[in-house]
Amino acid sequence: MDYYKEKNKIIIPNPTDFNIKHICECGQMFRWEEKKSYFDVMSTKFNAIVYENDMKSAIIESENINYYEKYFDLKNDYGIIKMELNKIPILKQAINFGYGIRIAKQDLLETIISFIISANNNITRIKKIINSLCVNFGDKLGEFYSFPTLLALKNIQEQDFVKLGAGYRASYLVDTISIIDDEFLEKLSKMNTIDAYNTLIKLKGIGNKVAECILLFGLSKTNVFPVDVWMSRVCQEYFHFNTLRKEMSKRMVQEFGDLAGYAQQYLFYYKRELKEK
């Protein structure tokens, strides 16, 4: 994908492989706000204003454009990925619908905490809980709040998470945060997919689906296929897999290999958006 940088800006002409609405609303991230004419995307320490310029280009404005160049995976050629996945009819439909999806490279700690909160939850509520977490325990950076540091998270009590709306997940969060440290995160980031998965599922509040979301969005492991209720329907309806979700995930990885994570995002966005409409 062609793009170029100016001071505090990334300009993407003819963004056939980038659409900020698709990226934000495909279930991978929760720290964004849709305004009248732009999306405000917040990471752990920075934020970016992303908007379309008369539908002819996409513009990312940030004080740290190098961070968002990596965050939005701009150096990765999604045209090649889509060309390969387009060989399967249902994926061709899904890609045409969500053509601008890109898998963001998110902070690992934030991803772990966010997806524990996401379990058996809806996106509106997840965003509300995470926003409250940032406002109450993060640092104020201009007009937004950073995600809490590991030290700040370790000082949060179970009842505090309950007050934020985490419900039964509060005890899972406290338990998992007590185990995580910088060394743990560093080791996890260097593991292969299988070892990282086996390490994650030992943590409280992390089952198969949450672990695979963390692998995909926090560790950039694209040889996974998280299966929730939407993906279970896709697997049954289009691929005729009528089995347990964990087995569905394995079979979709066998089908798509290192492109499984990309396929999952296109299919998830397609199925959920069509259902909601």
What are the residue numbers of the active site? Answer: 209
Is the distance from CB of 106 to CB of 71 less than 8 angstroms? yes
Q: CB atoms < 10 A from the CB of 55, how many?
A: 8
> 39-42 and 57-61: which strand pairing?
unpaired
Q: CB atoms < 10 A from the CB of 111, how many?
A: 25
> 57-61 and 47-53: which strand pairing?
antiparallel
Report the C-alpha gap between 68 and 178 in whole angstroms.
30
Q: Which of 81, 63, 61, 51 is nearest to 9 (CA)?
A: 61
Report the C-alpha gap between 129 and 135 in whole angstroms.
10
Q: Which of 12, 202, 31, 37 is nearest to 114 (CA)?
A: 31
